[in-house]
Structure 1
Amino acid sequence: MENVLAVVPARGGSKGVKDKNIYLINGKALLCYAVETGLKCPHVTETYISTDSGLYEEIAKSCGAESVGLRSPELASDSAKTADALIDLVTRLQSLGKNFDYVVLLQPTSPVRRPEDISNMLNILRSRPDASGIVSVSRLIEPHPYKLKKITPEGFLNSFIDGTSSEIPRQQMPPAFKLNGAIYIVRTEFMLQNRKLLDNRTLPYEMEEGVNIDSAADLEYLHYLVSTGKINL
């Protein structure tokens, strides 16, 4: 039977919105919503917190996550990659005799997701042995990449993507997608060998637009969506 590790990454040193990972929505920290999504998915074997904050670790453990201890300061810096923090956690778990076939990344700041999404994504990935992983995406309506511009060294306005035109009717533009931050799933072996989460063999899993919290305005928008019943966390 395959083992699936869910990881909730929560660095304590957020500069954009202080302590956004433990911001309360309906009295519950965003970090706990992520942990509970992992715990509620029947395909997930274990759910762990990865953090450099003792406070965050205790909050995560209080809502059901497990921990192998805090990240090193190097893995909590602004330049540290999420993949490196995940590799550190996986390596520490392996030293304890715990091995996993897949790693599921659940970011607290992208809370609009369901346990069923994880299950669906795992089933898709299992059916595609040629794929390295699968990631949640949302359709990008505006601005479409064809409409983006750049300024040349001579000062002229050109298409950002060569060969495209913003004058093409929107209906004729090819669908464009963006990572929505909700769920990343990667084969553990691929991640350890390549030290990254995504490559050109990553599959997409389309979801409705959610909220990716980078600013106070994003938090206000999330409050609005929850209070009006437009989303349920």
Structure 2
Amino acid sequence: MDAFAVIPARSGSKGVKDKNIYLINGKPLLCYAIETAKNCPDISETYISTDSETYQETAINCGAKSLGLRNPDLASDSAKTIDTLIDIVKQLKKINKEFDYLVLLQPTSPVRKPEDISNMLQILNKNPQASSIVSVSKLIEPHPYKLKKISKKGYLTSFIKGTSSEIPRQAMSSAYKLNGAIYIIRIKNMLESGKIIDNQSLPYIMEEGVNIDTSADLEYLNFLISTGRLSL
């Protein structure tokens, strides 16, 4: 069960400038992801993937390795994460490093523990038919059945055809959302399908975390930590 971790940290965020190295309790955000990976006994190596020399230096100081800065075509706004991951796997193969699993840890979803990674790896290892395992959180509100869209005639209609927002909440089937904290992919499947998630991906249910897209999200994370409600 040989696994390595990738910490993706592209610069040029439009929402919050340099959010990947924003200081939380005096520590750059991406370092929390690196430390989680390095504290997991099931992860052999941890790599930073970035287009920024500053991010790269920060990550290396926090204990990550680097294969060099991303190619420009993998650093644009339209670049897909899967293409970056496949590129890293191919680069590692050139230096005779091959793994069974890739663990993707996004700096902007920092609420996770090393034991979550180990648990997920064990589950995936015991389910050889599965291509990946992804952390999710239960979605309470708004439930997908309550979502609406506006028709061409200007009327409200169900966003999901055949559903009704008038069904009692207790009667609605459980819905889950990707919480962004942990993705573990079987590398063989990833290279064959070119996907991180497909119809053979397993869920790993976690409590709601914090996804950092805006300055308000950063303030909320700081609030949770300062009040002792969250420990990273």
Q: Is the structural similarity TM-score above 0.5?
A: yes
Structure 1 segments (4+ residues) deviating >3 Å: none
Q: How far 1:125 sits from its partner (Å)?
A: 0.5
Q: How far 1:124 sits from its partner (Å)?
A: 0.6
Q: Residue 96 of structure 1 aligns with which residue?
A: 95
Q: Residue 221 of structure 2 aligns with which residue?
A: 222
Q: Deviations over 1:48-88 (max 9, x none)?
A: 10001111011100011011101011101000001111111
Secondary structure of 1:64's counterpart equals coil
Q: Work out the CA distance in 2 between the residues paired with 1:77 and 1:226.
A: 33
Q: Work out the CA distance in 2 between the residues paired with 1:164 and 1:90.
A: 42
Secondary structure of 2:66's counterpart equals coil
Identity in percent: 69
Q: Work out the CA distance in 2 between the residues paired with 1:166 and 1:225.
A: 32
Q: Work out the CA distance in 2 between the residues paired with 1:21 and 1:155.
A: 41
For the 8 Å contact 1:13–1:76, the answer to whether it is kept is no
Task: Provide TM-score, normalisation by structure 2.
Answer: 0.99
Q: Deviations over 1:138-196 (max 9, x none)?
A: 01000000000111122221111111110011111110000000000000011112222
Q: How far 1:130 sits from its partner (Å)?
A: 1.0
**Runs (5+) with no aligned partner, structure 2:** none
102-111 or 188-197, larger mean C-alpha shift = 188-197
**Runs (5+) with no aligned partner, structure 1:** none
Q: In the TM superposition, what are the counterparts of 1:185-204 in structure 2 within 5 Å?
A: 185-204=184-203
The reply to whether residue 154 of structure 1 matches residue 119 of structure 2 is no
Secondary structure of 1:45's counterpart equals strand
The reply to whether residue 118 of structure 1 matches residue 111 of structure 2 is no
Q: Work out the CA distance in 2 between the residues paired with 1:118 and 1:161.
A: 33
Q: Work out the CA distance in 2 between the residues paired with 1:11 and 1:130.
A: 32
Q: Deviations over 1:95-139 (max 9, x none)?
A: 000001000000000000000000000011011111100000001
Q: Work out the CA distance in 2 between the residues paired with 1:13 and 1:91.
A: 25
For the 8 Å contact 1:102–1:187, the answer to whether it is kept is yes
Q: Give the number of aligned pairs.
A: 232
